[in-house]
Amino acid sequence: MRTDTLLRSQLEQQVIDGLANFGLPSSAGNLTEQTEVIFEVAQSSLANAFSLWSHRMTTEYLERHQVSDLVIGYLADLKSATRIGSTALATALVDASGRGELPSTFEVINEKIVVNGTIPWASNLYPDTVLVFAARNALGSRIVLTTEISTPGISFVRDEELLGLNETFSGSIRLANVQLQADNVLSRSLPDFLGLMRPRFLSLQTAFCLGVSAASLASLKASKLADVFGHEIATYDEQYEGLVLQLRDLSAALSNQGELVEHRPYLQLRLSAALIAQQVTRLELAAVGGSGYRNGSDTARRVHEALFFSVQAPTEGALKWELSQLK
């Protein structure tokens, strides 16, 4: 079975099994339960956990903004795993922070919303993917849109040279005179949209960072040089346990109904979880030795996975910059 078919079938089964529904307005389960699912998946595969996160967040965006029959139809497809979701909002985060500008624009022509530009990075890029992305107009408005990737004028190219994350089927999207309707608009205010959603997706991102750390710590403790690195292992283990408790507390503060909360604790936790994953995987490599440097080893995979956290939106630099602005 091809890798893309395998990963998609795994993701579809997770959705069918109800593992992408916790913490939604219609769910009996809470967001903490969703963090636990993503945490568990990340211990064996960050690619799988990341794809699940992207699909899960796309589902939440649509469920909280059921503005049209079109959106309700997409939502039903996502919940049944008929389609896969992609949250393509990395540049929206950059724009919202003031560090850059959205590379996708829109204008209204004959009651059509005509979109042009690029989305430099998005994941879960399949021929039938449902996208959520943002665009700006000449007057400074920022809106959030959803459509299917097969919409005329949309094309995508997967990047197949990623360190350990090829299976996320990430790449870039081009938008050329894409004609959408008012029904495709999830929110006419990107700041309001992100104000509600950021703590939720930061919590789930933190979960997969900690999942990688958990697997790496387990490998460290089982290594032949565990005693040699005993002090470092104990230090990282204590820090890791503290972050796990923080995630439980912060995710529990976000109800299924949705509410506005202060972003700082979620930004700091996401940054701390990314940094400890990199520290722990580096130590794992030192303890495991040469066998961990081979492509295909679990250690090498986790090293590559942890490095990804520095560049995945919000990036390490973006998190540090934003936290510095909040002081």
pLDDT band at 1 (very low <50, low <70, confident <90, very high): very low
- My answer on whether 12 and 94 are in the same domain is no
> In the chain, how many domains are there?
3
| % of the chain exceeding 70 in pLDDT | 96
Q: Which of 111-115, 243-247, 297-301 has the lowest mean pLDDT?
A: 297-301
**What CATH number is given to the structural domain containing 93?**
2.40.110.10
Give residue-wise pLDDT tens across range 255-274.
999 999 999 999 999 999 99
- Flag the least confident range among 76-90, 146-160, 162-176: 162-176
Q: Of 311, 316, 236, 239, which Cα lies nearest the Cα of 280?
A: 236
Are 205 and 279 contained in the same domain? yes
DSSP H or E segment with residue 142? strand 142-148
Residues 59 and 39 reside in one and the same domain: yes
Q: Tell me which residue range forms the domain holding 125.
A: 86-187
| Same domain (yes/no): 94, 214 | no
Indicate if 126 and 45 belong to the same structural domain: no
| Domain match, 301 and 197 both | yes
Over residues 242-249, mean pLDDT: 98
Domain closes at, from 187, 222, 244: 187
- Is residue 3 scored above 70 in pLDDT? no
DSSP string, 240-299: HHHHHHHHHHHHHTS-TT-----SHHHHHHHHHHHHHHHHHHHHHHHHH-GGGGSTT-HH
Q: Looking at the structure, tell me whether residues 38 and 7 fall in a common domain.
A: yes
Q: Quote the mean pLDDT of the chain.
A: 94
Q: Clarify whether residues 234 and 183 are in a common domain.
A: no
Q: Are 202 and 60 in contact (CB under 8 A)?
A: no
Report pLDDT digits (tens) over 101-145: 999 999 999 999 999 999 999 999 999 999 999 999 999 999 999
Of 130, 165, 187, the last residue of a domain is 187
Among 318, 295, 308, CA closest to 49: 308
Please check whether residues 91 and 111 belong to one and the same domain: yes
